[in-house]
Structure 1
């Protein structure tokens, strides 16, 4: 049985590409277009010879509220939490809910070894280490006629 493709994945990928095209342009304010702001996760991607290291800011979340996934050359980081406060006074009950979510998807420049990926979370900073995949050697020899 084949699994149906989620149409929102394509839409999200489109907006990520659109955002990346403009984020380094001088004078471009992402908040004007709704692409930045409070729910935007700040991310650094470093190339360290044999591995990539991604550092992402996710303050206020616990490590259980953060999901990191690697699929092919795509890294997705999601953080989601919900707070619920109830306050009761005599006959008055007040209930407040607050939820917060962050999501960021990065296209990695080279394939990585998915099994070797590791992540740590300390003081609101998520650090993900992604070992690069060894280049495939050999290939298929083509005879020329």
Structure 2
């Protein structure tokens, strides 16, 4: 007996519609920091320490030359452009679950980030962006005030 995956296109359309409905309904404040993702959204981790924010973007299948980063009006843009190679006519996909596609993702930066001191490195398919906080935004030791 063979196991065959059942896929009815009619159900896929309905499933996508319901997923979009619930995703829009259940949006939270964290997701509001994203301006636009063009429909494709890689996995992202965001960390905050006392001195910086760190953003990790998972980009398997890309190389450093495919990446473009810029900041304009407090919006960090991560853009990846990759040309899809033409498929060899001798081989046609029988089943395809992944591909490396171009995308653009924008993050609205908090006012505490120093845009002049943003750095990024790309290693093993992971883009790490370090966003240093401005000096005045750093938490300092409390100053005791004497009452006279």
Give the C-alpha shift of residue 74 in structure 1.
Answer: 1.6
CA contact (8 A) 1:68 1:77 kept: yes
Larger Rg: 2
Greater relative contact order structure (CA < 8 Å, 6+ sep): 2
Higher strand share: 1
Aligned counterpart, 1:78: 79
| 1:100 alignment partner, SS class | coil
Aligned counterpart, 2:125: 124
Q: Deviations over 1:2-32 (max 9, x none)?
A: xxxxxxxxxxxxxxxxx7884449xxxxxxx
Aligned counterpart, 2:52: 51
TM-score by length of 1: 0.56
Counting matched residue pairs gives 102
**Cα distance in structure 1, aligned partners of 2:45 and 2:70:** 17
Give the C-alpha shift of residue 104 in structure 1.
Answer: 1.2
**Cα distance in structure 2, aligned partners of 1:87 and 1:77:** 31
Give the C-alpha shift of residue 47 in structure 1.
Answer: 1.2
**Cα distance in structure 2, aligned partners of 1:111 and 1:64:** 30
1:24/1:44 CA distance change after superposition, 3 Å: same
State the superposition RMSD in angstroms: 3.5
Give the C-alpha shift of residue 43 in structure 1.
Answer: 1.6
Aligned counterpart, 1:62: 63
CA contact (8 A) 2:40 2:103 kept: yes
TM-score by length of 2: 0.55
* Unaligned residue ranges in structure 1 (runs of 5+): 1-18, 26-34, 137-145
* Unaligned residue ranges in structure 2 (runs of 5+): 1-22, 30-35, 92-98, 138-148
